[in-house]
Protein backbone atom coordinates (compact mmCIF):
# COMPACT_ATOMS: atom_id res chain seq x y z
CA UNK A 1 0.00 0.00 0.00
CA UNK A 2 1.27 3.44 -0.85
CA UNK A 3 0.37 7.08 -0.81
CA UNK A 4 -0.05 8.91 -4.11
CA UNK A 5 1.94 11.95 -2.98
CA UNK A 6 4.28 13.01 -0.21
CA UNK A 7 3.88 15.52 2.58
CA UNK A 8 6.19 18.10 1.04
CA UNK A 9 4.20 18.15 -2.22
CA UNK A 10 0.88 18.25 -0.38
CA UNK A 11 2.02 21.13 1.82
CA UNK A 12 3.34 23.00 -1.22
CA UNK A 13 0.01 22.72 -3.04
CA UNK A 14 -1.93 23.81 0.07
CA UNK A 15 0.41 26.73 0.61
CA UNK A 16 0.04 27.81 -3.04
CA UNK A 17 -3.75 27.63 -2.82
CA UNK A 18 -3.75 29.69 0.37
CA UNK A 19 -1.29 32.26 -1.01
CA UNK A 20 -3.38 32.69 -4.17
CA UNK A 21 -6.51 33.34 -2.12
CA UNK A 22 -4.65 35.59 0.31
CA UNK A 23 -3.38 37.71 -2.58
CA UNK A 24 -6.96 38.11 -3.80
CA UNK A 25 -8.53 38.80 -0.41
CA UNK A 26 -5.77 40.78 1.33
CA UNK A 27 -3.43 42.16 -1.35
CA UNK A 28 0.04 43.07 -0.14
CA UNK A 29 -0.10 46.38 -2.03
CA UNK A 30 -1.48 48.99 0.39
CA UNK A 31 -2.77 50.99 -2.61
CA UNK A 32 -5.21 48.23 -3.56
CA UNK A 33 -8.40 48.70 -1.54
CA UNK A 34 -9.80 45.78 0.41
CA UNK A 35 -13.16 44.50 -0.78
CA UNK A 36 -16.24 44.74 1.39
CA UNK A 37 -17.25 47.03 4.19
CA UNK A 38 -19.59 45.02 6.35
CA UNK A 39 -19.05 41.92 8.43
CA UNK A 40 -21.26 39.88 6.10
CA UNK A 41 -18.81 40.78 3.29
CA UNK A 42 -15.95 39.44 5.42
CA UNK A 43 -17.89 36.24 6.08
CA UNK A 44 -18.44 35.76 2.35
CA UNK A 45 -14.73 36.21 1.76
CA UNK A 46 -14.01 33.63 4.47
CA UNK A 47 -16.42 31.24 2.74
CA UNK A 48 -14.60 31.85 -0.54
CA UNK A 49 -11.29 31.03 1.15
CA UNK A 50 -12.79 27.89 2.66
CA UNK A 51 -14.23 26.74 -0.70
CA UNK A 52 -10.76 27.01 -2.22
CA UNK A 53 -8.71 25.56 0.62
CA UNK A 54 -10.84 22.74 2.06
CA UNK A 55 -11.30 20.75 -1.18
CA UNK A 56 -7.57 21.06 -1.86
CA UNK A 57 -6.86 19.79 1.65
CA UNK A 58 -9.24 16.85 1.19
CA UNK A 59 -7.64 15.87 -2.13
CA UNK A 60 -4.14 16.05 -0.69
CA UNK A 61 -5.08 14.25 2.53
CA UNK A 62 -6.70 11.40 0.57
CA UNK A 63 -3.60 11.13 -1.63
CA UNK A 64 -1.39 10.95 1.49
CA UNK A 65 -3.30 7.98 2.90
CA UNK A 66 -1.26 4.79 2.95
CA UNK A 67 -4.16 2.92 1.32
CA UNK A 68 -4.55 5.42 -1.53
CA UNK A 69 -2.78 2.96 -3.85
CA UNK A 70 -2.65 -0.80 -3.30
CA UNK A 71 -0.77 -3.47 -5.19
CA UNK A 72 -3.03 -6.33 -4.09
CA UNK A 73 -6.84 -6.16 -3.81
CA UNK A 74 -7.20 -8.29 -0.69
CA UNK A 75 -10.33 -10.30 0.04
CA UNK A 76 -13.66 -9.54 -1.56
CA UNK A 77 -15.80 -7.67 1.00
CA UNK A 78 -18.95 -9.22 -0.53
CA UNK A 79 -18.12 -12.94 -0.38
CA UNK A 80 -14.72 -13.15 1.34
CA UNK A 81 -13.06 -14.80 -1.68
CA UNK A 82 -9.38 -14.30 -2.41
CA UNK A 83 -10.15 -14.36 -6.15
CA UNK A 84 -10.38 -10.57 -6.46
CA UNK A 85 -8.23 -8.66 -8.92
CA UNK A 86 -7.36 -5.02 -9.56
CA UNK A 87 -8.83 -3.36 -12.63
CA UNK A 88 -6.09 -2.03 -14.92
CA UNK A 89 -6.39 1.74 -14.56
CA UNK A 90 -7.10 4.05 -11.68
CA UNK A 91 -9.83 6.55 -12.34
CA UNK A 92 -10.54 10.06 -11.18
CA UNK A 93 -13.85 10.44 -9.38
CA UNK A 94 -15.46 13.71 -8.38
CA UNK A 95 -17.22 13.75 -5.04
CA UNK A 96 -19.13 16.57 -3.41
CA UNK A 97 -17.96 17.58 0.02
CA UNK A 98 -19.67 20.14 2.23
CA UNK A 99 -17.21 22.68 0.85
CA UNK A 100 -17.18 21.85 -2.83
CA UNK A 101 -16.07 19.36 -5.45
CA UNK A 102 -13.15 17.06 -4.64
CA UNK A 103 -11.34 14.92 -7.22
CA UNK A 104 -9.99 11.62 -5.91
CA UNK A 105 -8.00 8.84 -7.53
CA UNK A 106 -9.81 5.53 -7.13
CA UNK A 107 -8.81 1.95 -7.80
CA UNK A 108 -11.42 -0.62 -8.66
CA UNK A 109 -11.43 -4.35 -7.99
CA UNK A 110 -13.65 -7.15 -9.21
CA UNK A 111 -14.21 -10.57 -7.69
CA UNK A 112 -14.06 -13.62 -9.94
CA UNK A 113 -16.13 -15.64 -7.45
CA UNK A 114 -19.19 -13.39 -7.02
CA UNK A 115 -18.54 -10.76 -9.74
CA UNK A 116 -18.83 -8.05 -7.10
CA UNK A 117 -16.89 -4.82 -7.48
CA UNK A 118 -15.29 -2.71 -4.78
CA UNK A 119 -12.58 -0.18 -4.06
CA UNK A 120 -9.69 -1.70 -2.10
CA UNK A 121 -9.11 1.55 -0.21
CA UNK A 122 -12.73 1.62 0.92
CA UNK A 123 -13.31 5.02 -0.69
In a domain, 60, yes or no: yes
- The answer to whether 107 and 87 have CB atoms below 8 angstroms apart is yes
Helical (H) or strand (E) element with 44? helix 39-64
What 8-state DSSP symbol labels residue 33? P
Find residue 103's DSSP bridge partners.
94
In a domain, 52, yes or no: yes
Mean pLDDT across the stretch 74-101? 92
Mean pLDDT across the stretch 17-37? 96
What 8-state DSSP symbol labels residue 2? B
- What's the structural domain count of the chain? 1
- The answer to whether 114 and 84 have CB atoms below 8 angstroms apart is no
- The answer to whether 70 and 1 have CB atoms below 8 angstroms apart is yes
In a domain, 62, yes or no: yes
- The answer to whether 103 and 59 have CB atoms below 8 angstroms apart is yes
What 8-state DSSP symbol labels residue 72? S
Per-residue pLDDT, 113: 96
From the CB of residue 10, how many other CB atoms can be counted at a distance below 10 Å?
A: 19
Domain that holds residue 28: 7-118
In a domain, 2, yes or no: no
pLDDT in tens, 79-91: 999 999 998 888 8
Residue 111 or 72, more confident: 111
Mean pLDDT of the chain: 92
Residue 23 φ/ψ, nearest 5 degrees: -65, -35
In a domain, 123, yes or no: no
Amino acid sequence: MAALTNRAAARKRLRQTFETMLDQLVPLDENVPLKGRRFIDFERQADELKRALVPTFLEERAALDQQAQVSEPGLCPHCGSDRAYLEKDDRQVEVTSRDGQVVLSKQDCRCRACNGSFSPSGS
